[in-house]
């Protein structure tokens, strides 16, 4: 799993010594958080600790150094986490974190640290790669240290629900969470992927309330988006998924949503092209929540029939890399307005950021600095 901490340090620098023998001092000067500091590493190999590269934050500023990233690669390095927890035990600052494995693909550290730097908040965002089975121990440590909150990635989004005190309506529906907020020891689980998607559509001038939507895919992000759509007033949601490992869970999710009576959700096989055409014809939004178009599937599209596209159909894509997917190209060719997944990515992070810090993330700046 992955751990990233937002830290507001005391005036004195904080010495951190790792079990592998390496040490680093981090601290603040003139009310600056340790996300502004450049850790000073002693000579020698850097296997347990590394500082990631980050882009220039603003004109004239190159010393971003927003975080120290800790990767657990051996049993010796695993003790680094306990050492950091021990070092942090005497601090008077707040923390937040992200948990999951693997984490190399995560954009969260860059997004959160640039936001913290832009707002001048006295926090740092620190990342750890930790074994899955340590989630209960880690949550207990977070509560002891009064960590303000944390994010979760696979595979811990489901297991966290057994370790919190409260669960948001959307997280209850999807039986998973990607955000936890700690209010004086009371842990509440939330899911922000759907919030990010709805806000991204809002930025494009699209409100989801009262609409009929067709959605391709219903995996982790797709489930959260589906539940949030209904929570925010979508009248009817037609989900099309391949008959893979996500198909039956999608049907179970639809049953839970429909039992609440807020909106109607239907799940069908994506191979049923005739039904898909009918659903899209009745919809004003078509969204792809599959991973088709990303990484190894770049250049492909989940769309089973390009003929369903029409100029008044709004297209939403949750894939953010590449920014211009084959699905987006198909939409533009048909004259459809569309958005890619960058907005959702930033807005889902902004939702967690707001819960922890009480501040609005500078979304426009994040998009410009990290994704232009």
Residue 331 to residue 288: CA distance in whole angstroms: 12
Q: Strands, E, within the chain: which ranges?
A: 2-6, 14-17, 23-26, 49-50, 69-71, 96-99, 125-129, 149-152, 166-167, 179-183, 186-190, 212-216, 236-241, 264-269, 285-288, 314-317, 338-339
Query: What is the rounded average pLDDT of the residues 23-27?
Result: 39
Q: Which of these is catalytic: 31, 107, 143, 157? A: 157
pTM for the full model? 0.79
Ordered structural domains, the chain, with CATH: 2-191 (3.40.50.10860), 194-340 (3.40.50.720)
What share of the chain has pLDDT > 90, as a percent?
Answer: 59
Give yes or no for residue 210 having a pLDDT over 90.
yes
**Res. 240: pLDDT tops 80:** yes
127-147 average pLDDT score: 83
For the stretch 290-328, pLDDT in tens is 999 987 888 999 999 999 999 999 999 999 999 999 999
Q: CA–CA separation, 208 vs 191, rounded Å?
A: 18
- Bridge partners (DSSP) listed for residue 4: 127
Q: Which pair of tokens denotes residue 215?
A: 């959605």
| Per-residue pLDDT, 45 | 39
pLDDT at 127 over 90: no
- Tell me whether residue 162 is one of the annotated catalytic residues: no
C-alpha torsion angle, residues 82, 86, 92, 97 (rounded to 10): 0
CA nearest 285: which of 246, 320, 234, 241? Answer: 234
Q: How confident is residue 363, by pLDDT bands cut at 50, 70 and 90?
A: very high
In contact, 17 and 114? CB cutoff 8 Å: no
Calculate mean pLDDT across residues 244-251: 98
- 129-133, 241-245, 325-329: the lowest-pLDDT one: 129-133
Question: For 206-217, what is the mean pLDDT?
Answer: 99
pLDDT recorded at residue 135: 87
Look at residue 94 in the predicted model and tell me its pLDDT: 55
* Residues pairing with 241 in the sheet: 269
- The 10s digit of each residue's pLDDT in 38-48 is 333 334 433 33
Please indicate whether residue 67 or residue 286 has the higher confidence score (pLDDT).
286
């Amino acid at each position: 799993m992955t751990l990233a901490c937002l830290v507001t340090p005391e005036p004195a620098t904080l010495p951190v010594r790792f079990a592998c023998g390496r040490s680093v001092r981090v601290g603040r000067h003139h009310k600056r958080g340790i996300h502004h500091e450049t850790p000073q590493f002693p000579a020698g190999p850097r296997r347990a600790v590394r500082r990631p590269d980050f882009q220039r934050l603003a004109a004239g500023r190159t010393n971003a150094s927003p975080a120290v990233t800790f990767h657990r690669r051996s049993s010796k390095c695993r003790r680094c986490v306990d050492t950091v927890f021990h070092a942090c035990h005497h601090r008077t600052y707040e923390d937040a974190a992200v948990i999951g494995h693997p984490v190399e693909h995560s954009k969260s550290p860059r997004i959160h640290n640039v936001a913290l730097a832009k707002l001048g908040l006295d926090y740092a965002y620190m990342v750890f790669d930790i074994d899955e089975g340590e989630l209960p121990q880690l949550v207990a440590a977070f509560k002891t240290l009064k960590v303000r909150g944390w994010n979760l990635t696979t595979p811990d989004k489901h297991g966290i629900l057994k370790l919190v005190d409260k669960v948001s309506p959307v997280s209850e529906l999807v039986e998973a969470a990607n955000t936890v907020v700690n209010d004086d020891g009371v842990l509440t689980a939330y899911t922000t992927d759907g919030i990010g998607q709805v806000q991204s559509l809002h930025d494009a001038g699209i409100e989801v309330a009262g609409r009929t939507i067709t959605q391709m895919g219903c995996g982790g992000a797709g489930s959260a988006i589906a539940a949030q759509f209904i929570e925010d007033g979508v009248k009817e949601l037609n989900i099309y998924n391949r008959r893979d490992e996500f198909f039956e869970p999608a049907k179970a999710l639809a049953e839970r949503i429909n039992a609440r009576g807020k909106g109607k959700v239907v799940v069908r096989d994506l191979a049923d092209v005739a039904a898909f055409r009918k659903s899209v014809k009745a919809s004003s939004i078509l969204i792809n929540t599959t991973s088709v178009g990303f990484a190894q599937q770049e250049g492909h599209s989940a769309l089973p029939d390009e003929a369903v596209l029409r100029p008044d159909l709004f297209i939403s894509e949750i894939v953010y890399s590449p920014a211009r997917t084959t699905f987006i190209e198909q939409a533009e060719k048909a004259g459809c307005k569309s958005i890619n997944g960058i907005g959702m990515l930033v807005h889902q992070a902004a939702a967690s950021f707001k819960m922890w810090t009480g501040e609005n993330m500078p979304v426009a700046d994040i998009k410009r600095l990290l994704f232009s």
